Each structure stands twice: as structure tokens, then as C-alpha cells.
Structure 1
Amino acid sequence: MSMIFFACVVRVRDGLPLSASTDFHLSQDFLECRKRLKALSSILARYPSRGTARGRNLSIHFLSSGDIACMAICSSSYSTIMAFCFLEELRWEFAASYNTRSINSASRPYAFIEFDNTIQKVKHHFNSSPGSRAKASWERVEEELQLQPPVQLQLEATELLNGLSNGEHAGGRVEVVPTYRMQPVTPLGILSLVLNIMCGALNLIRGVHLAEYSFQEDHEGFGNVIAFFIPFLACVFQCYLYLFYSSARKVKTFLLLFCVCSCNIYLYGLRNLWQISFHIGVASLSSYQILARQLLEKQPDCGV
């Protein structure tokens, strides 16, 4: 059954457990996984903010932020995205309840054991109705995992890695999944970049000339100046979105296209229909190229 079995909050610098769920599972796999979680918690400072240690039946997911890290033991079939949505919510709940000073001054294990009730509540919600609980953060977490995939560990090697941190000699190493790259630039994409740069330059030149005239004679022409400068900025950002990946890419693309279309329609009179059609056509082509150029590959573990 796909579910979250155990969760805890630890201090990153030394692995001190601050709070944990009180579920007791007596299976041998779970007890072994708890041992490896404890070993891993003491060396979290060596790893990036997100990571997954996979086993045959159980997996450990961890999310570090500042002084604390949230960790969970889930069934290996449990969605990676859902697991990190759970850890995100746990992190926010803990950060809202305790400040940095109290975390750093904690000197005994489970100093915030009362937070166990919150862990139990959040865990219960994710196990009973995961879809409704994680809906708000699902897309954001999925994008973050695509851009910066969690470090991948082998669950069986966690104790070995802990030995390395204590100065023992061994031949294990951590494999970090490489960052995703965008698909290759196409000839049509290059054409859209060139046309976009040309349109941006035309907007900038017209805007500067009109601004000089407005300052000297026509003080009511500032609206037209702004209507030239906004498409110029939109062209710059369209080039950026095509070349580099960004979160909420689709929303930004349509927003930029809307700005270009609106401003060019506003400039009717200073531009004829052919000029307006050309600028809107270039913006539309650029938008299509932005949406067509996707990530080169997708991490299999990021799916459901």
C-alpha cells in the first residue's frame, strides 16, 4: 500500500531529532529503515536540500531548509512529488511554531515532542486524501523537482556513508542526478529570436524618439511612450524564456503576448495595420517557440 509510515524533524548540523511521529511498525524492513534514517540524519549537511534514499520496499525522503530538515519513510511506490509536498507542509508548520533560537538551543532529543500532534495530523491527511491536500503545491513542487532533482542515494549504503562521515575508509560515493537541460535550439527558434530582437530594437528606438518629443512639446504623449517601452521589455523577456527554463513558463508566455498585442493595438495611428500585424505575428511565433521548447528529459521519479 502506498503511504507515509513515519516522519520526523531533525536539526541539520548534528542530526538531533526534534520531533517525530509516534507510529510503531514492527516489521524488520521498517526497523532497518529507521536505523538508516538515523544514520542519514547525522550527515544531512553534506547533501543538497532535497534527497531520496530508495530501497526495495521503503524509501526515505528528506527536505532541508535552514537549521532543520524534515524526513519521511514512505513505501517505495509512494509518489515522490507527494512525499515532498508532505515534507514542504511539515516544514512550514514547524517553522511557524518554532524560531531559530529555540531550535539552536535545543540540547536534548525530541525537545519539541508536542509537535508530534501536527505531524500526525498532516500525515493522516496525506494518507487519507492526498489529492486534495497537495493540490495547491503539486505543480510548484513538480517544477522544482524537474529543475533541481533530489540527490539519489541507495538505502543500503546510508550506514556506509555515515561511516565515511566519521572518518572510516570506504569506497562508496553519492550519485547526484544532473540538472535538466532544454531541448536544442531549432532554426525556427533562431529566426524567432532574430525577429524578436529586431522588434525590440524598433520599439526602443521609437520609444526614445517619442519620449524626447514628449518632454519638449507634447506632454500628453507619455502613454504612447510607455506603449513602446512595454513591448520592448516583453521582447527581451520572450528571448529569455526561449533560451532558459523558468517556472510558470506558460503563464509568463501568455502574459507577455497579451502585453505586446495590447500595446500595439493601443498604438494604432502611430503604426499602420501591417506594422501592428508584423509585431503581433513575431510575438505569436516567439510564444509558440517558447512553449514548444521543453526540458530535454524528465526524471522518472517525479511522476505519480
Structure 2
Amino acid sequence: MPMILFAFVVRTRDGLPFSASTDFAHNTELQERKQQLRKMSKALGCFPERGTVKGQDLNIYFVSSEGVSYMAVCHRGLSVAKAFCFLEDLCWAFKACFDNTAVNVAARPYPFLEFDSTIQKLKQQYNQIGGGPALEITLAEVQEDLKRHPPKVLTVEELELTNGLANGHIEQGPGSGQNVRLEPVTPAGILSLVLNIVCASLNLIRGVHLIEYTFQDDYDSLWSVVAFLLAFVCCLCQCHLYLFHSSWKRSQSASLLGVLVLCNSFLFGLRNVWQLLFHTSVACLATGLTLSRKFVVFIFLSSESSELCLGVFAFDPGNLSQCPSSV
């Protein structure tokens, strides 16, 4: 059985795949490891420059260098030194073929698909009995480097944690080594956004229609037009405030709610009681959900050139003192 089963080259900053080896194996664990590997590629900036993910029979090894990450799925019987030696050889081969400019300007997936032939040759070299380093690096050098700087061993739980939430606005937390983002949008939040958009549309339509009569009636309905258009703007602002964090969220939410209540009160007569109740209820719902949406804090263990996600904490945006300031 070959020791090196799959190799993958991606751009570190965004996980754009550059090239991958061709394999025809239908091993279930191999497919799972390849799936994990592709998920990892989207969050390589949160991982150390060099690491290992242990599996049952197959392990994942990865190395990042100069904006490019080299990843491989190997059988557990392959020594760690030999696995990283393969990745170092792969790194040397890739740098010999493509410069930093080509790496940075690449926009579509697999722009260097022809590099697959080089990957296949290296795999064959290492999978042969007694096979080993093929290019600039030697096994002894890698073993010595691994003793000085051992790779970080990651668990599947740490992988899932680091891949984490994809939703919400990200900003740097008050302490180093933290990423802060809002909780995912809930079903109630989606309902609130839809209702707010409906209210905004109704306000805009009524306001535009009323403008026509305003010009005919000597501007008697001018303030009603202003109220409709102001309510339209406030509804859109409520949507934005729910989706994105603001340090003035409490005061802004209260102000928007107050303006919407005043606008709808002013429009009494142009709207019946049930319409006013609907618009006011939607505004109150949006305000409540905006104020109750919490932060999720990702805590990272930082070294000179790498980070490892250690945990997730939730806290109220209105009480920043709950946010952990250090690991």
C-alpha cells in the first residue's frame, strides 16, 4: 500500500486550490481526510505553519511557506520526518516552477493543474521501497529541524472549532490573540429582516405615491412624505444594525425605534390602527433581536509565526468586560 495517498497545494490566505494529485482510491477514510483537508484550506491562517492531524489509519500533514500551503494525506506507517520531507520537496518543486507574482494574481481554482505531474513523480519517489528525498532537502535535515521545532499536533475538534462560524462581521477583540464575531443569524433574525424589508418597501411606495399629490395640493402633504421616507431609511438602518456590529448599537437601536414610532404616529390617518401596530411591532422585534445578538470570541494561542484556535466564548456586546482578554 502506498504511504503517501494524496497531496494538495493551496494559497494560504484564501484557500484557493492551485494543484492536487490524481488518485483513484475509494477508501472511506481517505475521502473523509480529503474533505477535512479542503475545509482546513479555508482557514489555514488560523493554523501553525507546520502541523499534523492524526486519524485512525491516515494522517494529514501540512506546511505553509511564503503564502502557499502544501498538504498531504499519508498512511500512519509513514514516519513524520519522511512526511514533512515530502512536503519540503513539494515546496521546493513548486517554487522552482511558479514565482510569487503567479501565486498572487491567480484568480481561478487549479490554475497550475500541470503541476500534478510533478506531484505524481514525487509521490512515486517516496512510495517506492527505500524511496526518499528527491530534491534540495535531506531526511537528516528534516529530522533535526523537527527536533528543534516539532509540528503542532491538532485534533479533529480543534479543526472543527477553527473552521468555526462563517457568518457574522469579524473584528479584532480587545486582547491580542482573539477574533470576535457576531452569533449566526437566527430564524427569528431572518424573519425580522424580511419584515423590515417589507415595511421599508411599503414606506417607500407610499411616500413616492404621495409625492405626486403633494405637488398638486400645494405641498400640504409634504411632512407625510418626509415621515414615509424617514421610516423607509430607518427600516434599512435596522437591518444593517442587526447584521453588523456597532459600538453605539444600544443608542442607535433606541434612536431608530423612537424615530419609527414617531413617524408611524404622525401617519395616523393615512394608516389604520392595524397597519400602525404591524409597523411598530416589526420595529420593536428588530430592536430586541439586535440588542440580544451576542458576540462569539475565538481564543487563539499565538507563537512567533502561527496561531492555534483554543476555544469559543459568547458574551453580551453591551458588556465588553465579559470578553476574555488573554489566554
User: Which TM-score tier does this pair reach, normalised by the shorter chain?
Assistant: 0.5 to 0.7
Question: In structure 2, how many angstroms separate the alpha carbons of the residues matched to 1:99 and 1:165?
Answer: 31
Q: CA deviation at 1:43?
A: 1.3
Alignment of 1:19 with 2:15, yes or no, is no
Question: In structure 2, how many angstroms separate the alpha carbons of the residues matched to 1:138 and 1:20?
Answer: 24
C-alpha distance 139-110 of structure 1, shift in aligned 2 (>3 A): same
For the 8 Å contact 1:6–1:21, the answer to whether it is kept is yes
Question: In structure 2, how many angstroms separate the alpha carbons of the residues matched to 1:138 and 1:128?
Answer: 15
Q: Residue 107 of structure 1 aligns to a residue in which SS?
A: coil
- Which residue does the alignment assign to 2:264? none
Q: Residue 123 of structure 2 aligns to a residue in which SS?
A: helix
- Which residue does the alignment assign to 2:152? 151
Q: CA deviation at 1:31?
A: 1.1
Question: In structure 2, how many angstroms separate the alpha carbons of the residues matched to 1:133 and 1:3?
Answer: 14
- Which residue does the alignment assign to 2:161? 160
Task: String of CA shifts for 1:186-210, please: whole Å, max 9, x gaps.
Answer: xxxxxxxxxxxxxxxxxxxxxxxxx
Task: String of CA shifts for 1:176-235, please: whole Å, max 9, x gaps.
Answer: 99xxxxxxxxxxxxxxxxxxxxxxxxxxxxxxxxxxxxxxxxxxxxxxxxxxxxxxxxxx
Q: Which amino acid aligns with 1:109?
A: P
Alignment of 1:93 with 2:93, yes or no, is yes
C-alpha distance 150-173 of structure 1, shift in aligned 2 (>3 A): farther
- Which residue does the alignment assign to 2:80? 80
Task: String of CA shifts for 1:55-103, please: whole Å, max 9, x gaps.
Answer: 1111100011011011000112211000000000000000010011111
- Which residue does the alignment assign to 1:141? 142
For the 8 Å contact 1:7–1:73, the answer to whether it is kept is yes
Number of aligned residue pairs? 177
Q: Residue 164 of structure 2 aligns to a residue in which SS?
A: helix
Q: Residue 108 of structure 2 aligns to a residue in which SS?
A: coil
Q: Residue 133 of structure 1 aligns to a residue in which SS?
A: coil
Q: Which amino acid aligns with 1:49?
A: E
Question: In structure 1, how many angstroms separate the alpha carbons of the residues matched to 2:301 and 2:81?
Answer: 20
For the 8 Å contact 2:125–2:131, the answer to whether it is kept is no
- Which residue does the alignment assign to 1:39? 39
Question: In structure 2, how many angstroms separate the alpha carbons of the residues matched to 1:33 and 1:67?
Answer: 23
For the 8 Å contact 1:152–1:176, the answer to whether it is kept is no
For the 8 Å contact 2:46–2:162, the answer to whether it is kept is no
- Which residue does the alignment assign to 1:188? none
Q: CA deviation at 1:26?
A: 1.6
Q: Which amino acid aligns with 2:35?
A: K
- Higher percent of residues as helix: 1
Q: Residue 123 of structure 1 aligns to a residue in which SS?
A: helix
For the 8 Å contact 1:50–1:151, the answer to whether it is kept is yes
Alignment of 1:59 with 2:59, yes or no, is yes
Equivalent residues in 2 for 1:118-197, closer than 5 Å? 118-133=118-133, 137-155=138-156, 157-164=158-165
For the 8 Å contact 1:52–1:59, the answer to whether it is kept is yes
For the 8 Å contact 1:85–1:134, the answer to whether it is kept is no
C-alpha distance 160-28 of structure 1, shift in aligned 2 (>3 A): farther
Q: CA deviation at 1:47?
A: 2.2
Question: In structure 2, how many angstroms separate the alpha carbons of the residues matched to 1:98 and 1:74?
Answer: 25
Gapped regions of structure 1 (runs ≥ 5) = 178-304
Superposition RMSD on alpha carbons, in Å? 2.7
C-alpha distance 146-115 of structure 1, shift in aligned 2 (>3 A): same
Question: In structure 1, how many angstroms separate the alpha carbons of the residues matched to 2:157 and 2:37?
Answer: 11
Q: CA deviation at 1:107?
A: 0.8
Q: Residue 150 of structure 2 aligns to a residue in which SS?
A: coil
Q: Which has the larger radius of gyration?
A: 2
Q: Which amino acid aligns with 1:151?
A: K
For the 8 Å contact 1:15–1:41, the answer to whether it is kept is yes
Question: In structure 1, how many angstroms separate the alpha carbons of the residues matched to 2:149 and 2:54?
Answer: 18
Q: CA deviation at 1:159?
A: 3.1
Gapped regions of structure 2 (runs ≥ 5) = 168-180, 185-295, 304-327
